[in-house]
Amino acid sequence: MGKCYICRGEAEINLRHMNNPNLLHIKCARCGVYDIAEIAATQLQTALGGEGSQQRANASGYIWENQGLFIGSNDEVWLAKLPTPSFQSRIEKLMVCIERASDSFADNVVVHVDHWLGRTWCKGRSEILYMLTSLKETNRLSGRGGSGLEQTVQITPQGLAFLEDIRRRTPRSQQVFVAMWFHPCMTSVYEKHVAPAIRSAGYDPKRIDKKEHFGKIDDEIIGEIRRSRFIVADFTGHRGGVYYEAGFAHGLGIPVIFSCRKKELHRLHFDVRQYVTIDWETPEDLGSRLKNRVVGAIGWGPLSAEVDRKGT
């Protein structure tokens, strides 16, 4: 037993391969299961901040949602800059976890507060207890337990309707909304590099100018973003619409992957500069790095072929 390199809670630490003592296999009640290179484990101690930091909570939540993740020597950068999901997004994550922990909709579920912090991207007990209280007050959960570390809850009919709404919006969507400049110079960038990169990672790219629409275009954009698993926002050209669409998705708790041509990176708005951005020089560079970022940050999509899962 030792300390988890992400959340700093107790964890089981083993060598992943007997012939590679620098690769560690971690089993943590909060974060789940992941592999980590020894050098990355050292780097993360500084990159994620002190115990109880939001950066550690975000990394723990991400790893819980991507079990079996390998963390290499360069991954501490994006892990330390994962955006914090909105309160609404975390409420939804908690409800989905409760549903998955029950065999039927009428079951009682015991929420082990400390173990469920990773599932809800929470820094500490008070946050998850607050969410449980909120769900009870809105009649989505019923049950007993005040401030104890084991809360017994049951999903109510209103809670089941809430879960159905979550599934309608972004269940395991294979769609990816692409926000980028509609200039002719970017057409081949999208068609030959961005879209193929997204498809090779197992997702279906959707750009609004490539879809027939009969209503107000803003309504179409909002609808497509809501239906997407995540969005790719390329800020080359620095169009206001791209900033708006990335911000709208972020507010919904939908992951955003940022990119921008390197020579224009200095023009990024300061609100965006805090996020890890693919600073590409050539379209080929963008395509290659975009696929790697999608697989690393989101995971393989439902359309991915077995050959892609093997890394080819």
- Asked whether this chain's domains 87-169 and 175-309 adopt the same fold, the reply is no
The predicted-structure confidence for 5-64, as pLDDT tens digits, reads as follows: 999 999 998 876 555 667 888 999 999 998 888 888 888 888 898 888 999 999 999 888
d(CA 90, CA 129): 12
**Is the pLDDT reported for residue 308 higher than 50?**
no
The alpha carbon torsion through 68, 73, 75, 81 (nearest 10 deg) reads: 130
pLDDT of residue 18: 53
pLDDT tens across 97-112, in order? Answer: 999 888 887 888 999 9
Of the listed ranges 163-172, 203-212, 249-258, the least confidently predicted one is 163-172
Only one residue has tokens 């507060």, namely: 113
- What pLDDT score was predicted for residue 295? 84
What confidence score (pLDDT) does residue 310 get? Answer: 41
CATH number of 175-309: 3.40.50.450
Q: Is 172's pLDDT higher than 70?
A: no
Q: Where are the domains of the chain?
A: 2-80, 87-169, 175-309
Would you identify the CATH topology of the domain 87-169? Arc Repressor Mutant, subunit A (1.10.10)
Q: pLDDT tens for residues 140-171? A: 999 875 557 888 999 999 999 999 887 776 55
Query: What's the CA gap between 56 and 79, in Å, rounded?
Result: 9
Does residue 130 have a pLDDT over 90?
yes
State pTM to two decimals: 0.59
Nearest to 6 by CA among 39, 22, 24, 41: 41
